[in-house]
A and B are shown apart, each in its own frame.
Chain A
Amino acid sequence: MRVFVPQDAAARAVGADLVATALAAAAARLGIDLALVRTGSRGMVWLEPLVEVEVAGVRRGFGPAAPEDAAAILDGTSPKALGPVADLPWMRGQLRLTFARVGVTDPLSLADYAAHGGWRGLAAARAMDPAAVVAAVKASGLRGRGGAGFPAGIKWDTVRTAPGPLKSVVCNADEGDSGTFADRMLMEGDPFCLIEGMAIAAHAVGAQTGYIYIRSEYPDAIRVMEAAVSAARPLVAPFEIEVRVGAGAYVCGEETALLNSLEGRRGEVRAKPPLPALQGLFGRPTVVNNVLTLAAVPHILAEGPEGYAALGTGRSRGTIPLQIAGNVRRGGLYEAPFGLTLGQIVHDIAGGTATGRPVKAVQVGGPLGAWFPPALFDTVIDYEAFAAAGGLIGHAGIVVMDDTADMLAMARFAMEFCAIESCGKCTPCRIGAVRGVETIDRIAAGDLAALPLLADLCATMKAGSLCALGGFTPYPVMSAVTHFPDDFRRMARAAE
């Protein structure tokens, strides 16, 4: 009997290892010949640990499973039965292209990977001229999934045509935004997909070396990725990939700070130009792409760019892996074409708040993303639509808060976080964040004259910072001020 238990960190965090042990023990007791496969997560985190039992070729789910459920799961009498996993509404509503194998296969099985369509993209790319590979990525409309949304094909073309004997591909796996976990899930659940994407990029631009920079907060992803890189070495040769581990600096998710960190320096942001595409790692022309950008590429090359480009809305093409978290009934990963509205995601997919209270605010795009009130829930997941609404998609993390949230406290937290994580290179961020905390404390104490000061400070940070840390911290701060003015006037009103 084949049984699948996720080994994803989120599943392990809620007891998947204990469930796996209990299943093995129960099978031995019941005389069942158990083949236990540890997979990635399907992304239905509220159902984790989600056990799947294969019956007549159909995988039936049980969750959230506890160790004491083991025997009943194996003999089919468990009340936690969910039916065929593929038929669950959460799965049926998705279009999983990047995450097609995550939760399905054994992440470190090369045989599984090949049997589920792996390496077809790389084989197609290697049969093509590098310029044609770049043209395919351009035609797909793929934009950088790390947050900036820059067209991947144009970046690759810049590196391809840049002069230089040595070039590099750097994967940004420093996924630090709160509410995001898609990079982690992909690396833990389908690491060869990322490796294949990097190898395609290397072929397209003529790179010899690749680095995957993973944050130290992801020990499971580091372990899986290192094993996968080692196993896939002959398949991507002569391209060489190395995993590097960060050291707890959020700002290293910014591409130039990441490059400095890889070079063994303080993770300080570099001024641009020069672009990393022309002078990146050790001065070489360098592709720096997010995990999800690179992991989208194998599908595009294997199936052709037309199908990918046909999905989505406006200039946001293809699918986006949404990450839904915070105070929600159903949290997890949901991959769909661009174009869902924020309201559909929060109400229909996530099922509203876990506490059952009304939604007050939703932060999209991590700690540098704007807070959206329910009045803006018709905003469509689309880079341009979010920019027009005064926000950003970022890495597509969505954090929901109920009506007990204090938005002044959230604005203060944004400034505090910026002060803690500022690399110190530019003054608007380094000093501005500290002054921001002080200014919000004045407002909290009832000094409404500090409100215009805060707006002015945010304008300075936005216009004058070197990178998105100082430059985008005003998004959560000013969106909180704009959409939730009452939270900033509570003390002043109480004094009247």
Chain B
Amino acid sequence: MPSSNPAGSVADRAAAIAAVHAGREGPLLPVLHDVQAAFGHIPADAVPAIAAALNLSRAEVHGVVTFYHDFRTAPAGRRVVKLCRAEACQAAGGAAVAEALLARLGIGWGGTTADGAVTVEAVYCLGLCACAPAALVDGAPAGRLDAEALAAAVQA
């Protein structure tokens, strides 16, 4: 539902981001990445604005937003931890490291702590398999993790 001022500015900003990429071939993913970088998620009001700017239907944009794991429809915590659950990290004890972090934070996979400090997301391989278990903490790689090292990386 369209609302007044703040929503209008979301739509305007999203439309401006879309306009930057409109001349590229298949611009939707670069647009969505930039919108998420600007807002921390893909706000609902951004979807019709992006659709209009790229001559797509709202359903097409919604379909793409919801297909990809990266795109969020609500803001994440201030720190995002992407923790690998795939086979190589499992072989190096990753499951126990993950369980310890989630238990300490009191959240499940994909959850955000009540104070909004930390979101923990599952990923399936970061290409850091030879220094497993591994994570990305706000985009910075961390490897050879044990429960203590991961807790320190999350708190740092």
Contacts and interface: CB of A to CB of B under 8 A. Distances in A.
Interface of A: 9-10, 12-14, 45-46, 48, 175-181, 183-185, 209, 216-221, 242, 244-250, 261-268, 282, 323-328, 331-333, 354, 363, 367, 397, 399-402, 405, 410, 413, 417, 420-421, 423
A217 B136 contact: yes
Interface of B: 24-30, 32-33, 54, 60, 63-64, 67-71, 82, 84, 86-92, 123-132, 134, 136, 139-144
Contacts of B142: 13
A49 to B, nearest CB: 10
Given A248-B69, A331-B131, A363 B87 contact: yes
A417 B86 CA distance: 9
A282 B84 CA distance: 34
Given A45-B130, A48-B131, A267 B67 contact: yes
Given A14-B131, A178-B87, A267-B67, 18 more contacts: A9-B127, A10-B131, A13-B131, A13-B143, A178-B86, A180-B127, A183-B127, A209-B25, A248-B68, A248-B69, A264-B54, A264-B64, A325-B91, A331-B131, A332-B130, A367-B87, A401-B91, A420-B124
Contact of A264 (B29, B82, B84): B29
A418 to B, nearest CB: 11
Contact of A323 (B27, B130, B131): B130
Contact of A219 (B29, B54, B125, B136): B136
A264 B67 CA distance: 11
Contacts, number: 163
Nearest to A402: B91
A12 B140 contact: yes
Interface pairs A-B: 3 shortest CB-CB: A264-B28, A178-B86, A13-B143
A10 B33 CA distance: 25
B123 to A, nearest CB: 6
Contact of B134 (A13, A48, A183, A324): A13
Q: Is the interface of B mostly helix, strand, loop or mixed?
A: mixed
Nearest to B24: A242
Contacts of B86: 178-179, 367, 417
A170 B51 CA distance: 26
Given A324-B130, A325-B132, A247 B68 contact: yes
A268 B66 CA distance: 13
Q: Is the interface of A mostly helix, strand, loop or mixed?
A: mixed
B88 A326 contact: yes
A179 B129 contact: yes
A367 B124 contact: yes
B141 A220 contact: yes
B87, B126, B131, most chain A CB atoms within 10 A: B87
Contacts of A178: 84, 86-89, 124-125, 129
A10 B128 contact: yes
A328 B130 CA distance: 8
B90 A14 contact: no
Contacts of B128: 9-10, 13, 181
Contacts of A332: 130
A363 B89 CA distance: 13
14 contacts: A9-B127, A12-B140, A13-B143, A14-B143, A181-B128, A217-B136, A247-B32, A261-B29, A266-B64, A267-B68, A323-B130, A325-B129, A363-B87, A410-B87
Contacts of A323: 129-130
A405 B91 contact: yes
Contact of A176 (B29, B64, B71, B124): B124
Contact of A327 (B84, B91, B143): B91
A180, A265, A400, most chain B CB atoms within 10 A: A265
A285 to B, nearest CB: 15
B92 A413 contact: no
B30 A331 contact: no
Contacts of A402: 91
B63 A247 contact: no
A217 B143 contact: no
